[in-house]
Amino acid sequence: MLETIKKLSSLSGISGREDKVREYIISRLPVTAEYSVDNMGNLIVCVKGKNKAKNKVMLAAHMDEVGMIVTYITSDGFIKFANVGGVDTAVQLGRKVKVGEKELTGVIGVTPIHLRRGDDEQKYPKKADELYIDVGAESDKELEGLVSPGDKIVFDSQTVEFGSMLKGKALDDRAGCAVLLDMIINGVEYDTYFAFTVQEEVGCRGAGCAAFAVEPDYAVVVETTTAADISGVSGEKQVCKLGSGAVVPFMDAGTVYSPELYKKANELAKEKGFKIQTKTVVTGGNDARSIKTNRGGVKTLTVSFATRYLHSPSCVIHKDDIAEMKKAVTAIAEEFANA
């Protein structure tokens, strides 16, 4: 799965532009897997297990990443943009990016410290519309046929291993996609639906459509969640810790999870021997909020990678957590299939 995560991380796919990610996943599917792509762009895969399931279970991971989108090209060749998803200006300044389908190399411009004086020295842009991207063009004419409003912009960030960690862009949620793809390739115990969803980063839009089509009894959202196990943060404020296994929340900003399902996940960890931890801060949200409230309601749980520096060019996960996530998701899905 490590190499799959690296490959998925390298692909460009902001919300609404997930095509390359979806095409790669389809290229890796076994010939026996049944799949469809809906009008939103969700990829839904049905995998027959060794046994029939008592309940219909859907596993979901989103394909899109946060990024930017071209809004305007100035007469002197600079590109203006808007954010797609929650991107902090602080992680954009001076960053290398890829622009458009041609993936032109660009840099998000920022005034250097040498040109800042007095009160301006500590003042940096706060909003995307105050920034621009420099792709080396000297006029808008140079960019005709290369870049247009509506083109995607992604961080250009190499995926690398360092120590026990893996760093890369879009690990939210390409790491989750890798877990689902690995389960599909290696087979499942019970009939299972897998939903690779779109537009999670702009309001969890695709997952609701996928759940409506599949009509699951249970769903497991396979995600990433913010970890603050860094210098200067202690106790419950760390949220969760890298290397301590899968993260299961009892509540986040979008979903109040069933106490029974939360308890069952922790019981399974003891029974099956995988590492699990609790998300200790009620924050964030994911596709669970759209799936849980679909049709007459879906019994839903989220299982996440602990991840540092989310929504930046340098998301970081612990390599040991990859195997723990696979064990946790597999055990929980099998339990739900026969609940």
Q: Phi and psi for 327 in degrees, rounded to 5?
A: -65, -45
What's the pLDDT at 120? 61
pLDDT of residue 53: 93
Per-residue H/E/C for 78-102: EEEEEEECCCCHHHCCCCEEEECCC
Catalytic residue among 18, 200, 223, 324: 200
Query: Does residue 200 have an active-site annotation?
Result: yes
Q: How much is the pLDDT for 130?
A: 86
Residues of the chain where predicted confidence (pLDDT) is lower than 70: 116-122
DSSP 308: B
Q: How confident is the model at residue 146, as a pLDDT?
A: 96
**20 exposed, middle or buried (CB, 10 Å; 0-12, 13-18, 19+)?**
middle
pLDDT of residue 24: 98
Cis peptide before 173 (omega within 30 of 0): yes
List domains and CATH numbers for the chain: 2-65+169-337 (3.40.630.10), 67-155 (2.40.30.40)
CA distance 272 to 282: 27
pLDDT at 128: 87
pLDDT of residue 119: 65
pLDDT at 68: 97
- Look up the pTM and report it: 0.94
